[in-house]
A and B are shown apart, each in its own frame.
Chain A
Amino acid sequence: MPVWPCSPHRFSSLSSPQAAAPPRVPQRTKQRPVGLGRAAGSTRGVAAPLPLGRVRFKCGLSGPVLDVLRCRPGWQQARNEEEWDFLWCDVSWLRENFDHVYLEEHVRICHFRNHYELSRKNYLVKNLKRFRKQLEREAGKLEAARCDFFPKTFELPSEYHLFVEEFRKKPGTTWIMKPVGRSQGRGIFLFRKLKDIFDWKMDGGRTNEQKDETQVETYVVQRYIENPYLIGGRKFDLRVYILVTSYSPLKAWLYRDGFARFSSMRFTLNSIDDHYVHLTNVAVQKTAPDYDPEKGCKWMIQQLRQYLTAKHGTGLVEVLFADMDNIFIKSLQSVQKVIISDKRCFELYGYDILIDQDLKPWLLEVNASPSLAASSQEDYELKCHLLEDTLHVVDMEGRLTGKEKRVGGFDLIWNDGPVSRGGNLGALVNGSFVANTHLGMYSPIAGMVPCSHPFLNMRAHPFHSRTREQGTSTLTGVQKENMLSKHGCEQLDYSSTIEIQHTNVEGTTLFIDLLFKLLNCCSSSYVSLAENLMYSRCSRCLLSTLLKLVLLFFSS
């Protein structure tokens, strides 16, 4: 088994007791009608989530998922027929069992009942088209244009005639055919002539003679983006993770890490038969003749962001990432009304995004069960952290207050409305709304340890630390401890870490409150300063902000 990255204490949450928005934590009162089948009898109270801290989980997958679940303190694997509180299953389980099993209120499952509304390519397109129309009606053309992040797409065979019409209108365009039900690049091909599609209709549609014609596999045909952004002559796409914990109201978390997957070949439109040039899915790349597994062909998203910033400046890159946020939100909103909301379900989506040469992001597809198999050590770490943080957000242990804006690597980007970065005091930083997203902005979570808490990490000095290598310079207090080496780190008691952080953040808040009362005013400069204070968890900032506050106080 690969080395398990032992840093569960990386968890950090910002609790904000006086948040402007009321807490949106669902009250667990509504009882779901008892279904058929095995009844999971339990004597435990319904509302209190696992007072004793034992979570029984069931997991249908191996690899990082199972490793993370097994390593989680207080969790244990349910034996074959035993009841479970937490289920990580693949979608087929859902299809077969969901409607036949009685599920208690406290259990959690990693998929929504009709997850395919977003993850099947034809449904995604259908939902987006409908949502676009609705927006156009309700909010006007401009708002509807914000939905134009997917290339022209048709479902085949049902929209074949519409497609042919469009095809005739724009000759010479390259189109891409994707089977809707398959994933990881299987069955995809490109074409420029209608003839190719006839061939496909002849043999691709009917592989099995015994199946009648209504069983023809559905495809979507999509305008192929011919000017992808290239780095070193190679095409790439982005994989970004979004966690949805609720659809009504919509509550979505964006993971800070992600990666860019490079095609191992140089991009050219001359060879449209060559899949490897065009597809960046790792699954396809793995079968390329010169694929080098050591290489991985991946960049962390931080790296991409840095590369783009170096080339195009901060402004353009910020617009690009804001556009990507828009894609996430709009696509989720498009299915918000159709997805069967269920408090027991959550879903981790893998978004595939392509950037073109004008730095416009395009949505390629959404995966409801993104590949969580790891291709390298770095990848393994990323996925472990991702899963770990997912579990933190899902919060079987009931440790969160429900007001957190950041949990581990997840930032809350939508909570029935946009979430601002600043948070509780003013919601505005420098007078403008700043979205609570940090995609690719800070060092990869994989190499990161919990943010410095001046009170928490006092004992960890770079040269004297016994427990782990974590260089907090008590002298500067700046975030110098982002330097966990892989060697000799020990697991710390994780629940206590959270508690300490909570008390301290609350302590700071109290302190600021006090200061505010003292100042007895609420001018904007104070607000932004105090906000900084809230979010600066290092002693140097804390001190300098305090100093500024005091100075302001005396000068006013």
Chain B
Amino acid sequence: MLEQDGGLSLTIARIVQRLKGSSLHSQLERQARISLHNPEIKLESLKEDIKDFLKTSGWEKKLQNAVYSELNVFPSPCHPAAPPEHMKEPLAYMRKAQGSWEKRILKSLNSMCTELSIPLAQKRPASEQKELLNKWNEMGTDEPDLSLFRPVYAPKDFLEVLMNLRNPNYENGEQPSFRNHLGLIQVPLNVKDIPELKEDFSELDLNIGQLGIDDSAQVPPEFFENEHVRIGQKVLAEQDSAAAQQYVRQGCPTALRADLWALILNISNQPEDILYYEQLKSNVIQHDLLVDSLIYKDVKLTASNDDYYFVFEDYLYQVLLCFSRDTSVLEHFAYSSATPPKSYIQGKVGIEEFAVFYPPNGVIPFHGFSMYVAPLCFLYHEPSKLYQIFREMYVRFFFRLHSISSHPSGIVSLCLLFETLLQTHLPQLFYHLREIGAQPLRISFKWMVRAFSGYLATDQLLLLWDRILGYNSLEILAVLAAAVFAFRAVNLMEVTSLAAAEAVLADLSTLKVMPLLQIFLFATVT
């Protein structure tokens, strides 16, 4: 009890600290100053008056949403005595693994730099700045020669790293034994089983209406859809972030999705936010970074070749280039196991005062990174809003998909969850695929790293991401990956090679996400 109280007060203290620097704080302060001149203020009833005022003026909702958003993003504080790095990642071997992985990425980036003799960053000449500004809205028409560039790493390389993760406190030799996992992931982490998942995802149960199922052609809208849309409009009118999050668990109506997601992520696109985006834009125009080429390359390799997303190419540059300059993204390293790489001003290598984070946001894009943004282009057409939504999605969810941590939404746990689910539910399939050298994770890993973006049809992907937002967790990705295997189990049982298994699972664009999830979680006899 005492401990809980302590935790609570710690949380409160932290949130207050966080909110102090926010624009909400200054807005409130301004409002307070204005109200100060109101002659009706009485000192004795001040506290109550303020409470009433907050309620009637709508500030309470805003405050509530901000607090809720903080609660969602930051992990609950650990023991007061725990060192600060525990907030990043409590397990030492995970921290170490992440550290050496970062070193590898950096090395590869540096070697590309020296190979191509391109500096990490340089100021653009004035003429080039002007040119870039002119074609800001059609950057995709630019065709720089990127043949020498290559993505720093691809999901495949990352999987190799995860496969070699070991817990030093856990004795598992290379010899197969009962302690070894049958899958590729060898670290013991606590992952949920189906009964626990059922409880977590209780809103996906069979007898609860779902968009993605109960809005299909066969179901008349009177049964579910109309009512659901009505409630959605009500939630929006209330501007209640928590209610919105609960609501999207059953799926967002297409017409309301953009607003509901913005509400959940607490993004309002205020004038100052637009200004901030414009600042980032001018940063992009002034300086040329090496990562820009990597971003270009990645967009050209992935999104602009995608059947759905090719139209959004220009938006992707507008978002991703600005993202790389955004130092506010650095804040997420407080709770991410990753640490931003550092670079030194020329000639001052190793001197801490001359160290800067590189890229400024501390995130090095990898092959497929742009696919995190692409689906959002379906919902937001204002670059500044699109940008903020993406940034928030990244610092809440996506960073977990390419950093090594023990967090339940972290990629390691997702992989293990996927393998465990498949092993328990379709042991024959798992065994068969393992025997023919087609470890299921080898196929599903890229789906999860990209949060299925680019693999599913857009409408299905958005339905899936609805649930990610609704449950504030990425575990649904692992469940879906397992459900896909289960769905194609019959065909997979017949394959005899990894290539054939990959072929069976090559095209996911015809899948319907919600029925798959529902069947897997709730309609499979366990």
Contacts and interface: CB of A to CB of B under 8 A. Distances in A.
Interface stretch (B110-118, B157-165, B374-382, B439-447): B374-382
B31 interface: no
A382 B257 CA distance: 29
Given A297-B310, A306-B458, A311-B381, A476 B206 contact: yes
8 nearest A-B pairs in the assembled complex, by CB-CB distance: A480-B515, A232-B311, A447-B510, A479-B216, A532-B220, A266-B138, A309-B254, A442-B217
B141 A479 contact: no
B491 A295 contact: no
B512 A482 contact: yes
B311 A478 contact: no
A231 B217 contact: no
B515 A471 contact: yes
B219 interface: yes
A262 interface: yes
Contact of A538 (B138, B219, B315): B219
Interface residues of B, number: 58
A246 B143 CA distance: 52
A258 B217 CA distance: 17
Contacts of A469: 487-488, 490-491
Nearest to A266: B138
B337 to A, nearest CB: 34
B317 to A, nearest CB: 11
A277 B93 CA distance: 56
A5 to B, nearest CB: 11
A483 B507 CA distance: 12
Nearest to B483: A462
A232 B219 contact: no
Size band of the A side of the interface? 35 or more
A310 B217 contact: no
A503 interface: no
Contacts of B477: none
Contact of B137 (A266, A309, A488, A528): A266
B314 A478 contact: no
B128 interface: no
28 contacts: A232-B315, A262-B311, A266-B141, A295-B305, A299-B311, A302-B459, A303-B459, A306-B459, A310-B378, A311-B258, A312-B255, A314-B253, A442-B216, A462-B486, A463-B489, A463-B524, A469-B488, A473-B518, A478-B218, A480-B512, A482-B512, A483-B515, A483-B516, A485-B504, A486-B510, A487-B503, A532-B222, A541-B223
Nearest to A528: B222
Contacts of A158: none
Contacts of A296: 307
A462 B511 CA distance: 12
Interface of B: 137-138, 140-141, 143, 206, 213-214, 216-220, 222-223, 229, 253-255, 257-258, 304-305, 307-308, 310-315, 377-379, 381, 457-459, 486-491, 494, 503-504, 507, 509-512, 515-516, 518-519, 523-524
B220 A535 contact: yes
Contacts of B458: 303, 306
A462 B487 contact: yes
Contacts of B524: 463
B218 A541 contact: yes
Contact of B313 (A232, A480, A483, A541): A232
Contacts of A292: 305
B491 A485 contact: yes
Query: Is chain B's binding surface mostly helix, strand, loop or mixed?
Result: helix
Given A306-B458, A478-B216, A487-B491, 20 more contacts: A262-B311, A295-B305, A295-B307, A311-B258, A314-B253, A469-B491, A475-B206, A478-B219, A479-B216, A479-B515, A482-B216, A482-B512, A483-B510, A483-B511, A485-B487, A485-B510, A488-B494, A535-B220, A541-B219, A544-B223
Given A266-B314, A309-B254, A451-B218, A232 B308 contact: no
Contact of B220 (A473, A484, A485, A541): A541
A303 B377 CA distance: 13
B518 A299 contact: no
Contacts of B378: 306-307, 310
A438 B381 CA distance: 26
Contacts of B223: 532, 541, 544
Nearest to B511: A483
A476 B218 contact: no
Contacts, number: 161
Contacts of B141: 265-266
A483 B512 contact: yes
A378 interface: yes
A210 B313 CA distance: 50
Nearest to B503: A487
A399 interface: no
A466 interface: yes
Contacts of A537: 218
Nearest to B523: A475
Interface in A298-318: 298-299, 302-303, 306-307, 309-314
A536 B218 contact: yes
Contact of B491 (A441, A488, A536): A488
B257 A310 contact: yes
A509 interface: no
Contacts of A491: none
Nearest to A532: B220
Most buried by B among A311, A447, A485: A485
Interface in A143-166: none
A231 B523 contact: no
A26 interface: no
A466 B512 contact: no
Q: Which of A298, A462, A473 has the most CB of B within 10 A?
A: A462
A155 B257 CA distance: 47
A192 interface: no
Contacts of B311: 231-232, 234, 262, 299
Contacts of B486: 462-463
Contacts of B457: 443, 447
Contacts of B491: 469, 485, 487-488
Interface string A360-401: 000000000000000000100000000000000000000000
B213 A471 contact: no
A541 B143 CA distance: 54
A483 B305 CA distance: 24
Given A309-B254, A442-B216, A479-B217, A473 B515 contact: yes
A420 interface: no
Given A469-B491, A476-B523, A485-B510, A309 B216 contact: no
Contacts of A302: 459
A207 B519 CA distance: 67
Interface string A275-307: 000000000000000101011111100110011
B232 to A, nearest CB: 11
B510 A484 contact: yes
A463 B319 CA distance: 42
A476 B143 CA distance: 51
B499 to A, nearest CB: 14
B442 to A, nearest CB: 19
A232 B314 contact: yes
A64 to B, nearest CB: 19
A536 B489 CA distance: 30
Contacts of A544: 223
Contacts of B489: 463
Contacts of B218: 451-452, 478-479, 535-538, 541
A495 interface: no
Contact of B254 (A266, A306, A478, A487): A306
A227 interface: no
Contacts of B379: 310
B255 A295 contact: no
A98 to B, nearest CB: 40
